[in-house]
Chains A and B, each alone.
Chain A
Amino acid sequence: MSIPVAYVLLLSFGVFCMGACGFLLRKNALSLLICLELMLSAVNIAFVTFARLHENEGGNILYFLVITVAACESAVGLAILLNFFRIKRSIRLDDATALGVEQ
């Protein structure tokens, strides 16, 4: 195994950054959630890498827990999104500013 560790971590971080930029730049809630999944996946890569690096199963275990949380979160997020759509008839984020202040 002659892969430099740093490269894998850089990969993970690169995917994460792309996911973050996408998260901040998308206009609709659905794409937002998808980018969120991307970020979580990138983090998972890092966990598994470290598990392999230190030969510790803990990283793998954490991977499972992250997946569990990701699943729950995406389910709940989609449910909220569907409710929002039911009320507002749109999934644009510009329409979801009720918690803001009149500028």
Chain B
Amino acid sequence: MTESLNVLAALTVLIPLTGSLLWFWVSPKFGEKTAGTGAVLFMLGSFLAMSALFFQVGEPVRILFFEWFALTKTQSVNFSFLLDPLSLALGMIVTGVGTLIHLYAAGYMHGDKSFGRFFSYLNLFVFSMLMLILSDSLVGIFLGWEGVGLCSYLLISFWFTDEANANAGKKAFIVNRVGDLGFLVAMFSLFKAFGTVSIPELLTLINSGAISADQLFWTQFACWGLVLGAAGKSAQIPLYVWLPDAMAGPTPVSALIHAATMVTAGVYLVCRLQPLFMLHGQILEVLAFIGGFTAFFAATIAIFQNDIKKVLAYSTISQLGYMFLAVGLNAPVAAYFHLITHAFFKALLFLGAGSVIHGLHHEQDMRHMGGLRTKMPITFWTMTIGVLAIAGVPPLAGFVSKDELLHIVSGSHRSWAIFFAFATAFMTAFYMGRLWVMTFFGKFRGHHEAHESPWRMTSVLIVLAIGSAIAGFLNWPILWGGSGSLHHYLGSVVAQAEFPTSTEAFASSIKLAIGSSLIGLLGLGLAYWRYRDFKGKEFEGAVWNPVKNKYYIDEIYQSLIVENLKRVGDFFWKVIDGRILDGFLNGIASRAGGASLQLRKLQTGLTQQYAFWVWVGVLILIVGAFSVR
């Protein structure tokens, strides 16, 4: 049994890794079709292996592959996997949605001259993400953490010949680095506190209850470090600034990495180390506040964006905020549920936007869209489902997970959380409705002729739309007669308060459900009414300028941090490297040259001078010979 598990686990990870080594040269040699089909099949293989694991594993299983390196004389870090509900659920999402997006990308990237390189990077990303999810030691997670950061950079700046794209990639990588610092601090602090980086051991030690004051001190550092890391990877305040810029990458990248998978790494990490955070409840509160505020903040910005992908980017930031809000309020299952449904409908929305962009020959400004309902029907209907899902219209997946979140927020008795959550829900519905209406309704305001996308893209849209519709039933609340299967599944690994089952609870939950649905419909309706005959004028007036300009956060970061860092860098470059080091080395060279210049004066060509020096030399020899005696 364990043998087959080992093999399956290895296959899941090794197939994408092998793939990443293949496509960049297979594509130029054997053609796009071969590379594309190969990449999709590889991903499918990985998904099947992952599914096999998912269905076979009952109790959490640890698989040890090999000893990686020795930490101390007695300890070593191992290359091993931990297969439990948390990792397997997310693993399924990654490989499943990943396969779909690979298929979509085979259509979207058609004709691109770096077709193969794209799929190599994508496969590498999937490998890294799986490493992150499946690893059972912090070092292995970090390997995956860095790996997805790298692939994010590579894929954002995929069309790097355009400087703007390269800058976006750089920004993503550098901002992520700050988060990585947090992760490293956390890892070191945990090692200092508990003497191990293996997660099962850590959790056992933490759960055992015997925590010394010294250990408490270090775990505090660890928690803050993890908050920083999660803020970096999952684009929360203050490290969210890279995500909107990351839209410079091809749309499949935005869908896979910046909607469905990489950005969820932060949520995964916090859920995984939940016992650690339970030691420091106040940090969890802070995390919840960050999440809630980010959700609200990003939603306000999203309303004013005109680029279709930027709206979705800020929407992702906002929805991630929801997840952290849930985790912070001790509801990791709800957060995970929203993570899963969000993966479906956000990937759907991004891919749909990609279809629109593709159909309009790379037009991304919504002010130049409109009336695409008739021209791109499949895209229209699938995106409609996505929009309804994110707005929280029952019985779609988004409604169920969001409703659970709102339920938890209401029960938390924190007014700020309630305000953030409900206000964000309304704004989400509004800006998504705005996007929906501006793109698909009204008169066509564009320049090019629009056409529907090829089958590779539309088929994926359909599958994701179905997923967005029915994923809610994965975890239909027990209160309403559902199975709550996700609760049961994850409940073995994470702690969440049980849902009350009394009749009062039932009544209030229905009221809440109706309320949240109404909010969603209200938002959508308002958007429809406003933007149905969009003629290009909205939000005139100087008062809207700060929000339109994203509250000038990028500008503030630039002047406060980036410019000063550049100054430090310039100092090191021009003064220390340029003047001092280069000057020293050049000085040596020029002194050598100067010395040779002086020595050259001996070479006069005059025989007598040469003879003279011979004589002097002999004289010295004679004197030396005599004095030695």
Check A20 against B615 for contact (C-beta < 8 Å).
yes
Measured in the bound complex, the distance between the Cα atoms of B597 and A23 in whole Å is: 28
Contacts known (A101-B600, A103-B600); A96 close to B612, Cβ less than 8 A: no
Check B606 against A97 for contact (C-beta < 8 Å).
yes
List residues of chain B with CB under 8 Å of any chain A CB.
600-601, 603-608, 611-612, 615
Q: Nearest residue in B to A100 (C-beta to C-beta)? A: B605
| B288 CB, nearest partner CB in chain A, Å | 81
Check A100 against B606 for contact (C-beta < 8 Å).
yes
Check B611 against A93 for contact (C-beta < 8 Å).
no
0/1 interface trace, chain A 6-47, chain B, CB 8 Å (1 if under): 000000000000001001111000001000000000000000
Question: Among B600, B603, B605, B612, which residue has its beta carbon within 8 angstroms of that of A24?
Answer: B612
Check A93 against B608 for contact (C-beta < 8 Å).
yes
Measured in the bound complex, the distance between the Cα atoms of B606 and A25 in whole Å is: 12
Q: Which residues of B contact A97 (CB under 8 A)?
A: 604-606
Q: Which residues of A contact B600 (CB under 8 A)?
A: 101, 103
Q: Which residues of B contact A100 (CB under 8 A)?
A: 603-606
Q: Which residues of B contact A99 (CB under 8 A)?
A: 605
Contacts known (A20-B615, A24-B612); A96 close to B603, Cβ less than 8 A: no
| B484 CB, nearest partner CB in chain A, Å | 95
Check B607 against A101 for contact (C-beta < 8 Å).
no
Q: Which residues of B contact A55 (CB under 8 A)?
A: none
Question: Among B603, B608, B612, which residue has its beta carbon within 8 angstroms of that of A101?
Answer: B603
- Which of A25, A26, A103 has the most chain B CB atoms inside 10 A of its CB? A103
Measured in the bound complex, the distance between the Cα atoms of B608 and A50 in whole Å is: 30
Q: Which residues of A contact B606 (CB under 8 A)?
A: 93-94, 96-97, 100
- Which of A20, A26, A100 has the most chain B CB atoms inside 10 A of its CB? A100
Check B604 against A93 for contact (C-beta < 8 Å).
no
Measured in the bound complex, the distance between the Cα atoms of B612 and A33 in whole Å is: 16
Measured in the bound complex, the distance between the Cα atoms of B600 and A97 in whole Å is: 14
Q: Nearest residue in A to B607 (C-beta to C-beta)? A: A93
Residue A98 interfacial (CB < 8 Å): yes
Q: Nearest residue in A to B604 (C-beta to C-beta)? A: A100
Q: Which residues of B contact A25 (CB under 8 A)?
A: 608
Question: Among A20, A96, A103, which residue has its beta carbon within 8 angstroms of that of B607?
Answer: A96
| B205 CB, nearest partner CB in chain A, Å | 78
Question: Among B603, B604, B605, B611, which residue has its beta carbon within 8 angstroms of that of A23?
Answer: B611
Question: Among B605, B608, B611, which residue has its beta carbon within 8 angstroms of that of A98?
Answer: B605
Q: Nearest residue in A to B605 (C-beta to C-beta)? A: A100
Measured in the bound complex, the distance between the Cα atoms of B601 and A25 in whole Å is: 19
Measured in the bound complex, the distance between the Cα atoms of B606 and A73 in whole Å is: 20
| Interchain residue pairs A-B with the least CB separation, the first 8 | A100-B605, A97-B605, A101-B603, A100-B604, A99-B605, A24-B608, A101-B600, A24-B612
